[in-house]
Each structure stands twice: as structure tokens, then as C-alpha cells.
Amino acid sequence: MNEKNLKNDPITPLTKASTNPFDNEGEDDDYGPAHPPLGPNPVEDDTDDENEREGGGDGGSFLHSTYDADRYAAERKVYQGQHEFMLGVAKIEQLPPPSLAEIAFAGRSNVGKSSLINALTGRRTLARTSNTPGRTQELNFFNIGPGGFILVDMPGYGYAKVSRSQVNAWTAMLKAYLRGRVPLRLCCLLVDARHGLKASDIEMMKMLDESAVPYRVIMTKADKCKKADLEKVMKSANEVLKKHPAGFPTVHLTSSEKKYGIEELQDILLLSVS
């Protein structure tokens, strides 16, 4: 499936194409009731996949075979250390001086960024969660563990109640950050698994491609989907990713609530900064 066909795909609805991922797409985040939990792995069976252990698949489990065991255990201690909020940046001139490697988190408003950050770090309130979309309005910098990395929480896009001037300001700041930030190693592009890729997500992917920033598409809220729907969403997104050179070719599924895919995502982040 190509990007043109996405308009006709009920799993990955798109609005009119835009060159700005922060353009409003309307308030469509009332998702309705969740489906029952799907178990520890919502799409894969229990059989071992030799290819995934060798480095394929959609997770970071291959680290267990490619990393030295002692080094791997030592690096994972980053998540057991102290994490703290550093600062919020509203203008590019306010960026902190480069220090540790940085990993950015981007996504639509109400995609579950704060919940995922808290699940990754094992902290309930490191990133502030809210039922109000569009609350994150700065680049928020978090220091993850002693000697670990810096996590950058970007403003959510696609929120209808944001002014045009604010949209333009966010876009300009985001482009400047992505194109000029030397320590930036990876961007995690969060996408709600119940909806799949939308037009604003694809515009963000294009922006990351143009900025030569490596990125991974991380599907959130996988526990709230039926298995068949997840498979369709993943297949559709993976087809789109084939046309985006800076993107990892497969998506990664997560659930902050059920903790599915969290440890694997921790491994992905460690690999990107090692």
C-alpha cells in the first residue's frame, strides 16, 4: 500500500495533505471504549523467531545476542537511576549546550507520549500526563539516569485549538532543532495503534527525512486494539516506511498500561546512544 492509497484505508485515515505536521486536524481523540487486553504479545505467537534473535523483528531483543552480557546489564542500570526534568525550551536560543546524546519523542496530541515516557523510566510522574490535548508546548528536556542520555519531549501536533501563530512558532523551532542539534541520535515517532498513520505523522516523517534524523515509528496503546486491526495497521505503516529513508523499516508496538514492548524499547534507546 502506498501513501496515496492511505486515503482509502479505514485503518489509517488521512486528512488533506499539509506541509506542516502541526496543522490542525480537528478534535478526533475521543476513541471510544477499549477492547479487552490481548495478553503479553498482541500480534506474535509464542514460537521463537530466529531472524528476530539475529537482528530482525520489530523490537530490540537482538541486543541480547549482540551485546556482551556484562555490558548490557551495566547499560540497563541507566533506567534504575535517578531521572529528572532539566528545562523547557520555548525558543531555539534557549537550548541547553550539547552534553549527552539526545533522543526525541514526537507525536500527535493525546498519543500517549507522557505515559510512555513514564513507563520507560519507571516513574509515574516524570512526564506530566493530562486529559487535555496540546498541553506540552515546549521542548522538554529530561536527564535519564547518571551518564545515560537526554530525552526530549516535543510538543504534540494535530490539536485543533492551537492558534496559527503558535503552530508556525512550533514548526520553526522544531525544524531548527532537528536540523542543527548535533547530539540528537534518534527520534521516536509515536502513533496511536488504533488509528495508524495520519497525514500529520507522514509530514513529520518527511521533516525527519529532510533533516537526516534517524527515527522509529512506535505504536502506542496496542492493548486497546484487536489483533486483526493491529496486523492491518502495522502492515500499512511498514509499507509507508519503505519510502522514507531515515525511518527504521518496521514499527514497534507498545502498551504503557500493560507494559508490552517497554523493555524492548528501552533496549532500542540504549542501542541508539551506545
**Contact (CB, 8 A) for 261 and 226:** no
117 Cβ contact list (under 8 Å, min separation 6):
105, 126, 127, 142, 151, 153
**Mean pLDDT across the stretch 127-147?**
69
Phi/psi class of residue 187: alpha, beta or left (left: φ > 0; alpha: ψ in -120 to 50)?
beta
pLDDT digits (tens, 9 = 90+) for 105-134: 999 988 999 899 989 988 776 765 444 444
Rounded CA-CA distance 227/166 in Å is 38
Q: Which helix (H) or strand (E) holds 179?
A: helix 164-180
Nearest residue to 40 (alpha-carbon basis) of 273, 265, 257, 267: 257
**Domains in the chain and their CATH numbers?**
4-9+48-273 (3.40.50.300)
pLDDT digits (tens, 9 = 90+) for 205-259: 999 999 999 999 999 999 999 999 999 999 999 999 999 999 999 999 999 999 9
**Mean pLDDT across the stretch 68-80?**
73
pLDDT digits (tens, 9 = 90+) for 174-214: 899 999 899 999 999 999 999 999 999 999 999 999 999 99
50 Cβ contact list (under 8 Å, min separation 6):
none
